[in-house]
Structure 1
Amino acid sequence: MRAIQVAITGGPEVLQLSELPPPEPGPGQVRVRVAAAGLNFIDTYHRTGLYPQTLPFTPGLEFAGTIDALGPGVDGWAVGERVATPAGIGAYAALALAPAAKLVRLPNGVDLKLAAAALLQGLTAHYLAYSTYTLRSSDTCVITAAAGGVGLLLVQIAKRLGARVIGLCGSEAKASLVRDAGADEVIVYTCEPFAPRVRELTNGVGADVVYDSVGASTFEASLESLRPRGMLVSFGNASGPVPPVSPLLLSTKGSLFLTRPTLAHYTADQEELQWRAGDLFRWMADGELAVRIDREFPLAQAAEAHRALEARQTTGKVLLIP
């Protein structure tokens, strides 16, 4: 089968198209014929070695497709079912594996490509708004990279919960997308420092929460944007990992809260995964949640897809098509 393989860590050029034998599903696993794989920043962390993997490996966690084979001990699933997962193994391939416990069935009204585009980032947006910092109608939230895949979904979900949304993005073109998603205010932070502007928009008080996926380059300003006892949710490293932080900094900035969540801890069991995915797919099927696919790349152009993502040239989701 055709698959991308990483033999050494490094830049996008290490993503090499290869012919590999089909993976065999082990106990508790299913094999899926991949219709589309979702590209996520965590894939770049695996590629560079920031999050170490055993070499060689096929990258990719998120995909949608149809079940091709069942491993030993798998019950309740059937060959041919339409499924998606945010926690698969080797998504950049024609065939990939997934733990049965991390699969979700797709409603008839949800397209396979849209499922691959929405699941991991949609689940992330869901846990951020519903669980990490539970948004209320009285809250003001700041969302960095608001024109990205998670950002556009998080803006919409935050508005569903009645919160006031301040979206940050890097250009006027992206600002238009963020406004269309429902943001109350948009700051182009390449044109002006965003912390003073957030203070101005909140009458000097600061935001209740900042959802920050950018990392090193926005961390300090994100802290400066918060009200006393506000929360910084640092959930990504798009500009690089945040350097070590003294707890005393949180005290001097207003007794702030800081958390670094990850999806695995917010989809810890089938019940939680199905709750979050069920909400997403219902909203999508009802036309209440818009999923933006920025572009699709054939599998052979995985390196180009990574370059586009890392250069922040994308708005919404990037898909790889085997």
Structure 2
Amino acid sequence: MGDSVASPLIWGITVIVAIAVFTVDLAIIGRRPHEPSMKEVSTHLAFFVGSAVVFGLALWAFAEPHELSKSPGPEFFAGWLTEYALSIDNLFIFIIIMASFNVPREFQQKALMIGIVLALIMRAIFIFLGAAAINQFSWVFYIFGAFLLWTAWKQARDHNDDDEAPEENKLAKFARTHLPSTTEWHGTKLTIKENGKRLITPMFLVILALGTTDLLFALDSIPAIYGITKDPYLVFTANLFALMGLRQLYFLIGGLLQRLIYLAYGIAFLLAFIGVKLILHAMHENELPFINGGEHIKWAPEIPIWLSLTVIVGTLAITAAASLYVSNKRDKENAESA
């Protein structure tokens, strides 16, 4: 499959730094559970976003093109923005989960943090499984592309049903009804011992719901980013930086999310665009005997990374601007009619 942009040493350093950052974050949150201030979340979010930008610029300046990545810097930025957009869309579900379990605001940070760590672990597994599949079977891009097109259609179709109450997470519901549990909150503890019996707490159920939901999110995000870059290191770091600032983003723009009324359509368009990109790449690299006699389809164009980056940035900008414009207009009309 060719050399990655990162050596085993760089991989090791990246993983160690990521573990250290999450460990320190969890230790701080665990020692002093609280609802963060706007200043706190803004500062932390700026740090994580700034770190991602510096990392991407360093790749752009120093990383050499190779078999898996012709443009490491631009590919990282395109992948990071895509994962960030998908993560912001997922915040809607996080808000619903928190509300359905009535999670106290001061405990939400730890629940989100553990959920994010679980998400990163599951995405890492999918990343390496995806890399192995791509290495062995070039036709897997047909499957990835078709899956993203189906996901894009489903995202756009189901958008109008967002106001309906979602079905309770099945695994969390099973745990609540079949395992000894308590309905009382005991700080951020996952289990307690009461009358000699071990009970799971509502925090355990919240994290279980967040973790299983993150597993479903990974099914969309990993094929999407492999449509941008085939380098597992760039895929991993793009996911890492997107997830690092997700907790702060939850508290910073929780109310604003309700105003991004066209975000789902923007995400659907991006998924469809990347799905087409993957199918075109699969056609260009075609080895399936029942398609073009097993020969590469030379007329199938490869979408360059600069175009992908332009489409991603443009879609997010237009979606956000249109959403805020229409939301503000509706607010003024409602205020005038009141």
Q: Which has the higher contact order (CA 8 A, sep 6+)?
A: 2
Structure in which a larger fraction of residues adopt strand = 1
Higher helix share: 2
TM-score over 0.5 (shorter chain):
no
Larger radius of gyration: 2
